[in-house]
Structure 1
Amino acid sequence: MTGIDETFAGRKGQASATPGAANVPPAATGARPSETRGVHPDAVAAIMAATHGDPFAVLGPHEVGPGVWEVRAVLPEAKSATLLTGGKRIPFERRHPEGFFVARVETQGRPLYELAVEDWDGSERTRHDPYGFGPSLEQHDIDALREVGSNVTYRILGAQAKAVDGIQGFRFAVWAPNARRVSVVGDFNAWDGRRHPMRLWQNGGVWELFIPGLKAGAHYKFELRGPDGSLLPLKADPVAFAAQKPPETASVLQGTSTPAWHDEKWMATRGEKDPRHVPISIYEVHLGSWARVAEEGNRYLTYKELADRLIPYVKEMGFTHIEMLPITEFPFDGSWGYQPVSLFAPTSRFGTPDDFAAFVDAAHEAGIGIMLDWVPGHFPLDAHGLGQFDGTHLYEHADPRQGFHQDWGTYIYNFGRTEVSTFLAANARFWLEHYHLDGLRVDAVASMLYLDYSRRQGEWIPNRYGGNENLDAIEFLRKTNEATYTHAPGTLTVAEESTSWPGVSHPTYTGGLGFGFKWNMGWMHDTLNFVSKETIHRRYHHHDLTFGLLYAFSENFVLPLSHDEVVHGKGSLLGKMPGDRWQKFANLRAYFGFMWGHPGKKLLFMGGEFGQEKEWNHNQSLDWHLLDDAHHRGVKDLVRDLNHLYLNVPALHARDTEAAGFQWLVADDQDNSVIAWARKGREAGEVAVVVSNFTPVVREGYRIGVPEAGFYREAINSDAERYGGSNVGNMGGVRAEAVPSHGQSHSITLTIPPLATTIFVRED
């Protein structure tokens, strides 16, 4: 037995957890006669210099002779220390001027003890010794860190509140296989890396340490020495469950205690319906700028205040889901959350993790789903983040042609490293399972799929077949979608994918990526291009309205009017509309009617629903005072009524993703910029007819064929006076006549209002 490793090698589980001699200073590994066994001075020096890679071989209790135990502790803050064991008080001997203490006790078997530490002010504190505890991990858990789709990452890594041998504390664990030494530092140990160095499980590269007596709320980070021995910047915990409010960067002890949920019915039933066949209308929100408290320094609303104000608003407006821009903790406000550092921590800008859980709980109680913009494609370069985490390119590719995103100045995850893919897939599960979220919108999927995304020739590395597909990212996305749909049934994964990649929302067993839905970026670009044209020119761009139906059912689509369309000089949705003030509002209302009548689930960024005039600014509240104006109130009332109609009329949602639910009626009247189609539900007679007129000319006596006989109630008219329109319409509806038109056996004759969309619902 070596002079620094007398006891733990024989303890249960310890052999696999003890580092090899390569991590121990060479002078400390020589054998000594058993009768003089004790800590080697070189090992003491290494511990006090915080360079020793195997602290449990030095610290804690060690048998140095028959029935003779030596207890060693690093206590830089102590004036003196006493060993409390078996009713005895045994003074420690200071062996190093900076606070290395040793006490000897004679006992049969491993001693049970506590440390009584006298501070320089004369006060005494009693505590348990972290180095008196054995390993609290199991090798099979560490092995599972290479099982993409498991949730083991957030079950064993991070700072877990737990009891060991009946003693409460926190068990810290971090994956850093190339580090020479890792310590927990925090406000509980003066951020001193000598006090709590960790144990390495060499078969897995995980460092762990149980620190008894710690309480939730303490701040901490990890101090690492890289493979060359250099001290790295202090790192936030990659699996921290809470974090300080930026600009502070420490992780916060939170544990993974179960929030006080009241949504049992919601959780039990959310998997019962196929989301393709139910209405999904998503309100996309940046929590920091939806509304602020101007009279209190323009501060954010808290999670509690958002629960009281945002959720009732969304409910009244008829949206089914709130999609939050990323709230995984991020350092820079201007990134809007798209450059996160702590993927497992809800941002502290708005409150605590428990406050966030209560927000989700309140949404479920109101019948509202909560979705999260999730960012697994890249991460920022902040020194306390994941970049070069253990002194090597651990989470990112080393080669910048694979590991650095030129557009955003961020690192790209190395999806080919199994532990990294496991970390990210577990994070997806964490939000859906631990925080009961109902969906993830996955950011920038195109940048993940293509190795040459936004790169010129020579700036990227082909895959093993010579192609530009990122095979590792594809495999990661498939496994993550499989895991989320298996373990969180009823939830959604939605891809922001802007290319023609096939099968994004198709099952993995058919070769697809396995997403539930895909944003229809082509529809958004084409239709915004159309409505931004002066009305006299729209006849030349009519195909922008119709082209999307050529591929509308190739994927399960969401129609997005997102935050990306109202930033970076693009102006607001209202600002894109041509014409005078009346025409701008009329165009916007007609466009919303067109969107809600079109096949596909809906997404609208906050402010659009009442015609925000200015471009979105993340540093200030939406302009809610605009609702004092009748035109803005009219847009808001229209979006509310469109949502409720969409919720209640199966023809408008039940076959959003099926070609059988759509039928062209008028597709070619480009001269009048009139377009019309029928939507069909799954039951006989469930029919809605959508008619849009994108010119300011009233069309009298316009005959349109319809699929079935019956009365067609005018359920929505965006030109109605209550919305700010000219009130041209059809007196509540029209009855179909047995007059063939547009290939249909029956037809209706309409007065089509100017710059308006009307939606007719068939009734017997």
Structure 2
Amino acid sequence: MDLIDRNEALALAQGRHEDPFAVLGWHEGRIVALIPDAERLWVVAEKEVELTPVSNGIFVGNTKSKVYRLRAQNAHGTWEFEDPYRFGPVLGEIDEYLIGEGTHRRLWQALGAHVITHEGCEGVHFSVWAPSARRVSVVGGFNNWDGRRNQMRRRGATGVWEIFLPGLSVGEAYKYEIVGPDGSVQPLKADPLGFGAEHAPQTASVVRQLGVHGWADEGWMTRREATQNIHQPISIYEVHLGSWRRVWGEGGRPLSYFDLASQLIDYVTDMGFTHIELLPISEHPFDGSWGYQPIGLYAPTIRHGRPEEFAALIDAAHQRGIGVILDWVPGHFPTDDHGLRRFDGTALYEHEDPKEGFHRDWNTLIYNYGRREVSNYLLANALFWLEEYHLDGLRVDAVASMLYRDYSRPQGEWVPNQFGGRENLEAIEFLKAMNAQAYGGAPGIITVAEESTAFPGVSRPVHEGGLGFGFKWNMGWMNDTLRYFSRDPIHRRFHHNELTFASSYVYSENFILPISHDEVVHGKGSMLGKMPGNDVEKFANLRAFYAFQWAHPGKKLLFMGQEFAQGREWAHAGELDWGLLDHPAHAGVQRLVKDLNHLYRAHKALHWGDCDPEGFSWIEPDDADRSVFVFQRCAPGEAPVVVAANLTPIERQMRIGLPQGGAWTEILNTDSAHYGGANRGNLGALGAQAQPWSRCDYSAEVYLPPLAVVMLAPL
């Protein structure tokens, strides 16, 4: 024991040493190594030297060579390897400074696991933020999950730990073993910035290499900014990748990213949608969370393939002119032991006080947005998806839960802000910073808020005092419209305002009209199931609903399966009921949605004014007795489109106002036999006379089929 201090040796062997790099490795001609399962150990350099065993796997010896390898021997054999403790630090001073300041915009390039060549050796550099830890080790199959072997180097006051492990490569599973400030060993932790993960129920991170995919989407990226703005058509198909389709010939597995790159993108393109929106694909342990309780914010889920295969899916979409939006969850995280909860033995990412740090609705934890490193972690994650995977937008989940400290909390169970109010000022500043950095760092992207309150300026720029989102889901329109259409038509005349009220605020934000997964789960049934009447009337109501949605101001979003009138509630463990398309009524609804998408894109009047008040005006908003609605959509220098809805099962032969005279064509009729209707209409065309009617100088007699929407455009 004279070769090394007894207490120091014991601390190393027990994994309690405060600074293992100060002892292990080469120092002034002496080498100390900790190889617990070795019986003999040699330094392999210009001159081979056998080291002296001290105790508990510690070996000591002398050599002049700073560059060397180690060769170990025990009863099972001999193996040779590089000593991680002979390598210097990888992180530079600028990285340290930016991490400490909480302003490292590309944090993923510094932290996480990176395959690199360091001081002439290939291996993996690991780095993690754990400021209150006494010791952090990388563990995996490469060291028998033994936390004594690869104890990391502490990088000063930043709280970052790092180590370079030569010889490791892509595909290696690993976790961090952390000793907390009280000396207790924490549950093994996945990497907060891990780029890959094991298949559930296994929970380790997996070394993956970024930048492997060769992108071929330059054309899309160049025109994206001109494509994704308030005056362009945006029609979104919301998808849960695991249950869209499955491969039943292979045990019912979900489609791979490669499968989806052809099947899903072909389908979406044919249907005329402009975008797909993916329910969260960040790695998550529980299938039943649908991705909304993520553990690996920087890892595309392995359920469908490796990260480079996810990149190939995005590339395939772009090459077909389809944008991709990702559901992003910065509002909360699960309490799984291998996740962020008390990561270094303290409330690191979350608040210590459950009144601030625990979501009662979801049994999840809330990020401490006021801690600069935590905010940095999330801000960098937004840029990570936009830059590394060329995603075209982020839809931010549960924004309302972030904005208010008393969200879903009774009096006395929440902590007011510094001014005594209910607003979460730190979360508000975080959202502003996220939007500013996203739009500044990735031109042409869009951000979307799922925000269900009347918080002002959600989709107004940060420099104008807003939160900075590009769009906001119109939850008010969704609730009112679904409520109206679910009513028996005989009662609709008493609730006429449920369809007209939205026009009073429709331009207060840049809205998306969402019929999302939330409307077809948890006992809510399907869209078809919400409609009243017999089977024929249910389908007619649903067709009218979709036509009204596509005609109303606001971008469009529809959850998968509803485009062909899925009959049952969505279930994440199966797949959509594609067999329903063998039935004419379901196939007709699918044809209608397809035609609505193509009309929406082809007629500028139907999309230009989605977020501009010049794009909409009422012609007949007050005909409650007949449950008839007539309005027009407009665009500068373009022909208008007039939309007439008859939402009772009674045929209407009536006069409606039109903005100009001459011939008009029926560009859509939801009662068409092509869509499963009875083929009642105006024989495709009608003529407008100079007879003033309902705010218009011209008018025409039209036939409005029961429970139907008709769209007219001048010839």
Fold in common (TM above 0.5): yes
Amino acid in structure 2 at the alignment position of 1:585:
F
Amino acid in structure 2 at the alignment position of 1:566:
V
Give the C-alpha shift of residue 749 in structure 1. 2.0
- Which residue of structure 2 lines up, in the alignment, with residue 42 of structure 1? 7
Amino acid in structure 1 at the alignment position of 2:415:
I
Amino acid in structure 1 at the alignment position of 2:66:
P
Match of 1:755 among 704, 707, 713: 707
Match of 1:746 among 662, 685, 698: 698
Question: 1:523-578 deviations in whole A, cap 9, x for unaligned?
Answer: 00000000000010110111100001100000000000000000111100000000
Distance 2:481 2:673 in 1: 25
Give the match's secondary structure for 1:276.
Answer: coil
User: Is the 8 Å Cα contact of residues 710 and 736 (structure 1) preserved in structure 2?
Assistant: yes
Question: 1:177-213 deviations in whole A, cap 9, x for unaligned?
Answer: 0000000001111100011000111221100111111
Amino acid in structure 2 at the alignment position of 1:671:
D
Distance 1:662 1:699 in 2: 24
Give the C-alpha shift of residue 119 in structure 1. 4.5
Distance 1:400 1:644 in 2: 50
User: Is 1:730 equivalent to 2:685 in the alignment?
Assistant: no
Distance 1:411 1:641 in 2: 44
Question: 1:648-685 deviations in whole A, cap 9, x for unaligned?
Answer: 11101111101111010110011111101100013x24
Give the match's secondary structure for 1:455.
Answer: coil
- Which residue of structure 1 lines up, in the alignment, with residue 71 of structure 2? 116
User: Is the 8 Å Cα contact of residues 661 and 679 (structure 1) preserved in structure 2?
Assistant: yes
Give the match's secondary structure for 1:719.
Answer: coil
Give the C-alpha shift of residue 124 in structure 1. 2.8
Alignment of 1:92-491 (within 5 A): 92-96=51-55, 98-105=56-63, 107=64, 111-125=66-80, 127-145=81-99, 150-273=104-227, 275-491=229-445
Q: TM-score, normalised by structure 1?
A: 0.92
Match of 2:37 among 56, 59, 77: 77
Percent sequence identity over aligned pairs: 55
User: Is the 8 Å Cα contact of residues 156 and 173 (structure 1) preserved in structure 2?
Assistant: yes
Give the match's secondary structure for 1:185.
Answer: strand
Give the C-alpha shift of residue 79 in structure 1. 3.0
Question: 1:382-401 deviations in whole A, cap 9, x for unaligned?
Answer: 00000000000000000000
Give the C-alpha shift of residue 290 in structure 1. 0.6
User: Is 1:494 equivalent to 2:448 in the alignment?
Assistant: yes
Give the match's secondary structure for 2:242.
Answer: coil
Give the match's secondary structure for 1:761.
Answer: strand
Distance 1:731 1:142 in 2: 72
Amino acid in structure 1 at the alignment position of 2:265:
I
Distance 1:260 1:81 in 2: 44
Distance 1:547 1:147 in 2: 48
Give the C-alpha shift of residue 296 in structure 1. 2.5
Distance 1:458 1:350 in 2: 44
Distance 1:450 1:267 in 2: 36
Give the C-alpha shift of residue 215 in structure 1. 1.2
Distance 1:197 1:341 in 2: 24
Q: TM-score, normalised by structure 2?
A: 0.98
Give the C-alpha shift of residue 173 in structure 1. 0.5
Amino acid in structure 2 at the alignment position of 1:372:
L
Does the C-alpha gap of structure 1 residues 149 and 676 become closer, same or farther in structure 2, counting only changes over 3 Å? farther
Give the match's secondary structure for 1:339.
Answer: coil
User: Is 1:691 equivalent to 2:644 in the alignment?
Assistant: yes
User: Is the 8 Å Cα contact of residues 567 and 616 (structure 1) preserved in structure 2?
Assistant: yes
Give the C-alpha shift of residue 148 in structure 1. 5.9
User: Is 1:53 equivalent to 2:18 in the alignment?
Assistant: yes
Question: 1:334-374 deviations in whole A, cap 9, x for unaligned?
Answer: 11110000000000111111111111111111111111110
Give the match's secondary structure for 1:203.
Answer: helix
Distance 1:254 1:206 in 2: 21
Distance 2:714 2:382 in 1: 42
The alignment of Structure 1 onto Structure 2 pairs a total of residues equal to: 715
Distance 1:186 1:686 in 2: 65
Amino acid in structure 1 at the alignment position of 2:615:
G
User: Is the 8 Å Cα contact of residues 387 and 395 (structure 1) preserved in structure 2?
Assistant: yes
Question: 1:461-501 deviations in whole A, cap 9, x for unaligned?
Answer: 11111110000000000000000000111111100000000
Give the match's secondary structure for 2:373.
Answer: helix
Distance 2:100 2:245 in 1: 43
Give the C-alpha shift of residue 150 in structure 1. 4.3
Amino acid in structure 2 at the alignment position of 1:695:
T
- Which residue of structure 1 lines up, in the alignment, with residue 606 of structure 2? 652
Match of 2:562 among 608, 614, 622: 608
Give the C-alpha shift of residue 143 in structure 1. 2.3
Please say which of residues 266-275 and 555-564 is displaced more in the overlay.
266-275
Amino acid in structure 2 at the alignment position of 1:697:
I
Question: 1:683-724 deviations in whole A, cap 9, x for unaligned?
Answer: x24311111111111111x22112233432211111000101
Give the C-alpha shift of residue 152 in structure 1. 2.8
User: Is the 8 Å Cα contact of residues 258 and 434 (structure 1) preserved in structure 2?
Assistant: no
- Which residue of structure 1 lines up, in the alignment, with residue 48 of structure 2? 89
User: Is the 8 Å Cα contact of residues 293 and 333 (structure 2) preserved in structure 1?
Assistant: yes
Amino acid in structure 1 at the alignment position of 2:317:
A
Amino acid in structure 2 at the alignment position of 1:704:
I
Amino acid in structure 2 at the alignment position of 1:44:
A
Give the C-alpha shift of residue 142 in structure 1. 2.2
Amino acid in structure 1 at the alignment position of 2:696:
Q
Give the C-alpha shift of residue 258 in structure 1. 3.8
Distance 1:128 1:747 in 2: 86
Structure 1: runs of 5+ lacking an equivalent: 1-27, 29-35, 64-68
Distance 1:148 1:268 in 2: 31
User: Is the 8 Å Cα contact of residues 228 and 446 (structure 2) preserved in structure 1?
Assistant: no
Amino acid in structure 1 at the alignment position of 2:49:
I
Give the C-alpha shift of residue 735 in structure 1. 2.7
Give the C-alpha shift of residue 166 in structure 1. 2.1
User: Is the 8 Å Cα contact of residues 106 and 384 (structure 2) preserved in structure 1?
Assistant: no
Give the match's secondary structure for 1:123.
Answer: strand
Give the C-alpha shift of residue 128 in structure 1. 1.7
Distance 1:384 1:531 in 2: 45
User: Is the 8 Å Cα contact of residues 184 and 222 (structure 1) preserved in structure 2?
Assistant: yes
User: Is the 8 Å Cα contact of residues 148 and 480 (structure 1) preserved in structure 2?
Assistant: no
Structure 2: runs of 5+ lacking an equivalent: none
Give the match's secondary structure for 2:71.
Answer: strand
Question: 1:45-75 deviations in whole A, cap 9, x for unaligned?
Answer: 1111011121101101011xxxxx1111111
User: Is the 8 Å Cα contact of residues 212 and 308 (structure 2) preserved in structure 1?
Assistant: no
Distance 1:148 1:758 in 2: 55
Give the C-alpha shift of residue 742 in structure 1. 1.0
